[in-house]
Amino acid sequence: MLDIDRLPADVQRPRYDRSKLKTRMVHIGFGAFHRAHQALCSDKLAEQGSDWGYCEVNLNSGALIQALREQDLLYTVTEMADDSLKTRVIGVITAALHGKGDGIEAVIDAMSQPDVAIVSMTVTEKGYCHLPASGDLNPDHPDIVHDLAQPDAPRSLPGLILAAIRRRRDAGLAPFSVMSCDNMPENGHVTRNVIVQLAQRQDDDLADYIQQHITFPSTMVDRIVPAMTESAFEQLTARLGSEDPVAVEAEPFFQWVVEDNFVSGRPAWEKAGAELVNDVLPFEEMKLRMLNGSHSFLAYLGFLAGYEHISDCMGDSHFRAAARALMVDEQAPTLRTQGVDLQAYADSLIARYENRAIKHRTYQIATDGTQKLPQRMLDSLRWHLRNGSRCDLLLLGIAAWMRYVGGVDEQGQPIEIRDPLKNALAECVKNSEDGEARVRALLGMNAVFGEDLAQNGDFVARLTHFYQQLVQQGARATVHQIMNAA
């Protein structure tokens, strides 16, 4: 358990009166990224006199919430570069709840308190119960089916927020803003879609109320926050002289772009490093395609090639060149960003990937691919298909995902697939021979690929070519051959 009195002198403690914080925000998804990003930003703002505090909520796992409570709602963030470490204690949390342990009613009640002005979330793409290809609510999702039958005992994120909105409206309380901080293009629009569409299936008047009174600001978030490992915890404990099971480590880089569209006020995050703008979409697309797209590219190919971390991939000059070429030659032309030097942005990303102090595992990034592919690669792919331009590296990245979800690595060892559609993926793999049949089977997953791509014969042939090349030569040899020919 974290003992703040035993920490080294160079660890920064909260430099503000925590008792003056008010619970003005409820955040759903107390994961590593939120702890190292939005909570850190709000903590820096509290040093400047802000009284905006967080009630943190985990809907499923209760271990982190319990650990946080046991150490007075405090935890550490360590920023790591190759040659430096900087740790600070975060004190901006005022309450913490576990959906299963404390009950969903307690979570709804927390969101229904008069001071709450913002409900935010980092639940990953799969938490929205949406169809990635369209951004619409997935009415067949088991949690949505449950919530339609039992709206007062919701299981899904949309159902939970909808229950709180209904309660606030009925009590005559001011509306809150709902802010997604997950990696999806127009994440505010997706959030609005799923909540309004769920409301329309329950109560038309409530749906109308949401469209008139609730705002859904979009955001773009950027910081590499690797999953903590047992070794990382051991090294941190040795350095701090105190255990912190809630600790996170992150790269020094931080970016948060927020659409300034809040119905009941917001913290002045711009004073702590955030950018408040009118339109987030160009920033989102730039980050999703250039950073997240290249991350996924390296994750699938790197994992297959035996590289455990992204920084290991950067030690292979061909992988490094391929990642940069993907960004500059195939992702950048699809963007609408104005006034940004995209080549310089690509170079900055490569430099961040090279940070060997950040152990960002390729396997971690490879999870939930069915939710990530549409915005990270498929949107760009469709741009190239419309414009008749080459996109061999995008095709290779998609082929690498298909090879990865086959569930067996290049040494014949099983891969544990972590994906909300893993059962559907397993069926595709089971019922198709490896090769063109496998490619066509996976393209038949309309929730991921839509209906258009499987109908494009030239695209299917080119994708199949790269898939076969990966099967026959392996990922490392394929990347080396492609980049040597470039």
Same domain, 96 and 236: yes
Identify the pLDDT of residue 133.
80
Residues 6+ positions from 410 with CB-CB distance below 8 Å: 304, 305, 306, 474, 475
Cα separation values, 128 from 121, 364, 452, Å: 10, 20, 24
Of the three residues 257, 277, 297, the one that is the final residue of a domain is 277
Identify the pLDDT of residue 174.
97
Identify the pLDDT of residue 314.
97
Same domain, 120 and 234: yes
Same domain, 292 and 265: no
Q: Over the chain (486 residues), what is each successive 10-residue block's mean pLDDT?
A: 91 96 98 97 98 96 95 97 89 97 96 98 94 90 96 96 98 98 92 98 96 97 92 94 96 96 98 95 92 97 97 97 98 90 96 91 96 94 97 98 97 95 96 96 95 95 98 98 91
Identify the pLDDT of residue 57.
98
Same domain, 208 and 169: yes
H or E stretch including 81?
Answer: strand 75-81
Of the three residues 277, 295, 325, the one that is the final residue of a domain is 277
From the number of C-beta atoms within 10 Å of its C-beta (0-12, 13-18, 19+), residue 49 rates as exposed
Q: What is the CATH number of the domain that holds 419?
A: 1.10.1040.10
Q: What is the CATH number of the domain that holds 113?
A: 3.40.50.720
73, amino acid identity: L
Same domain, 43 and 191: yes
Q: Which residues pair with 308 in a beta bridge?
A: none
Residues 6+ positions from 205 with CB-CB distance below 8 Å: none
Residue-range definition of the domain harbouring residue 392: 281-485
Same domain, 250 and 305: no
Identify the pLDDT of residue 184.
86
Same domain, 24 and 137: yes
Give the total number of structural domains in the chain. Answer: 2
The answer to whether the pTM exceeds 0.95 is no
Same domain, 270 and 375: no
Same domain, 197 and 336: no
Same domain, 228 and 308: no
CA atoms 454, 458, 461, 467: torsion sign = negative
Of the three residues 221, 248, 277, the one that is the final residue of a domain is 277
CA distance 311 to 406: 25
Same domain, 252 and 291: no
Same domain, 262 and 292: no
Identify the pLDDT of residue 274.
97
